[in-house]
Structure 1
């Protein structure tokens, strides 16, 4: 699976090129167009993502996020997992797993699902971002505080702590509103330059 982006960073579109028989998971509402012969099979009921599979000769699919912003492919090497904003994934190949439950998220959020999902494996994980993507590269022991509404993704090499900005104000672990995320390096934190709504 190869990913090329265009019209970035304001109105990004991702073209996912598939080899013969290769498949990608994406939400049907984000499909702008695809080459003839690509087939779609539902993964679940309702608004669940679908699986798009290329015919024997290969094919492509163009994906457009539901909101303005960048499309950003993150190549997973198989060595590290990544925590990703729960609404950020535009497409993923079968070689990238959604790890649920993820122990580090359980300790961060308790019994709730929280605003992050964990992915591991190999291949490109394609993000739909609000605004362009920025990278905060942290050295070992360096700490930065990030607003969870802007968090896009971070690798397993970093340590994180979630805390209330003001304990007297309302907070939500499902959205990150009213919370701060302290991140300690080493590692790179990807942020989007506009907040999740």
Structure 2
């Protein structure tokens, strides 16, 4: 498998070249083009990576071509309505789309729904990443993407009651709004980011909702109000533009889910 991010940072697309039986799982309605030898199947919820036998090699990142692979036998399906509803609660689609190559040399191109860059998260250790609402685009390899209950902490930090967590071995591709800034935080290093701009961050990073300034008056009148404080070690990816608000009802739903 090879992948390449093209046309970044505004009109980014993700081109993935597949060998026979290799596949990529993606958000529905994200396919831009594909070759004739690509088969599409739709599933409810997500499938456990334990159902696949795969080999994934090291790859480079960003816009340069990347090599690696997921060559597997036809997986046993373990999708469920529960998994679909969990995806909805995490801000993603009820269904997932699988693009599988019927022969070598097949290609599929994915296009995010927003005007922005594509972030490549490389997974392959004991740690993973949290994805913010609407940032998931696709994944390859032995990646396990789950919707987990964030509790009051997630609600108060404006991430909602449910969070998406990616772990395992492989790649997760995130869509953004605008360009993306990557920061690697050292232990106890802190950065403040409004959650509207956050795309993904390592699960080793701790976060907490705090006032933008010591003064409540200054926090409110400056328009900043409450922001999230992220403390390392780990990686944070945030976008340079916030997604337009969909109105009061949309804001209310985002706050809870």
TM-score by length of 1: 0.83
Does 1:108 pair with 2:158?
Answer: no
Instruction: Report the counterpart of residue 106 of structure 2 in structure 1.
Output: 59
> 2:211 and 2:119 mapped to 1: Cα distance?
30
5+ residue gaps, structure 1, are 170-176
Instruction: Report the counterpart of residue 8 of structure 2 in structure 1.
Output: 8
Q: State the secondary structure of the residue aligned to 2:229.
A: strand
RMSD between aligned residues: 2.8
Aligned pairs, number: 188
Instruction: Report the counterpart of residue 31 of structure 1 in structure 2.
Output: 31
**Structure with the bigger percentage of helix:** 2
| Contact 2:37–2:103, Cα closer than 8 Å, also in 1 | no
TM-score by length of 2: 0.65
> 2:139 and 2:97 mapped to 1: Cα distance?
11
Q: State the secondary structure of the residue aligned to 1:108.
A: helix
5+ residue gaps, structure 2, are 45-83, 85-92, 245-257
Q: State the secondary structure of the residue aligned to 1:100.
A: strand
1:82 to 129, 141, 144: 129
Does 1:93 pair with 2:140?
Answer: yes
